[in-house]
Amino acid sequence: MNQLNGSPLVLTAPPPAARVSRAAVGFFVAGLVMTVAALGYTLLDQTVLGGLNAQLHAVYDSYGKHVRPGALYGYLYALGGLGVVGWLCCLNRIRRSPRAARIWSSSVLVLSAPAIAPLLLQEYGQFVFPVSFAAIYSGIWVLGLVGTVLLFRRTKSG
């Protein structure tokens, strides 16, 4: 008996922990892997391929401007580094609290959209960044979008 109000004391099991679909986790892991690969591609481009440097020459040389790619590579490294941190935090939240993961991943998704927007910047009618960088990072963002949507879907227990 409950001593406060005299009603019988009923013990109930706690509600089952919210589950996250394996597909959602898969998209987050794929996003992490792709972000690390994008960082590797950035390093490869800077040291061997020279795609960004060639693109800058194609855009600016005919206008008599010389643009060094250092700051743009810095932006790409920062974008990739923050992306890795975002993916790891989302995966950690999924493991600990699916509800918090929904909030966290939605926030990261919204904040990362303006962060990748400069990849689509154009001057003199041409993209400043090679299309490969815009495609890679936009694809990574889409992985986050799909993973976040899947976090909000209900999964069956079992």
Nearest 10 degrees: Cα torsion 33, 39, 43, 45 = 90
- Confidence at residue 136, expressed as pLDDT on a 0 to 100 scale: 94
- Confidence at residue 89, expressed as pLDDT on a 0 to 100 scale: 93
- Confidence at residue 156, expressed as pLDDT on a 0 to 100 scale: 60
Distance set, CA 112 to CA 9, 84, 108, 149 (Å)? 50, 12, 6, 16
**Which pTM value belongs to this model?**
0.81
Write out the chain's pLDDT in tens, 158 residues: 556 666 665 555 444 445 778 899 999 999 999 999 999 999 999 999 999 999 999 999 999 998 899 999 999 999 999 999 999 999 999 988 888 899 999 999 999 988 888 988 899 999 999 999 999 999 999 999 999 999 988 666 54
- Residue 10 — φ and ψ, nearest 5°? -115, 125
Whole-number Å distance between alpha carbons of 98 and 20: 7
- Confidence at residue 4, expressed as pLDDT on a 0 to 100 scale: 62
CA proximity to 39, closest of 96, 1, 92, 83: 83
Q: pLDDT digit string (tens) for 89-124?
A: 999 999 888 888 999 999 999 999 888 889 888 999
- The residue type at 86: G
Helix pair 22-44, 70-96: axis angle to 10 deg: 160
For residue 123, the SS3 value is strand
DSSP string covering 18-60: P---HHHHHHHHHHHHHHHHHHHHHHHIIIII-HHHHHHHHHH
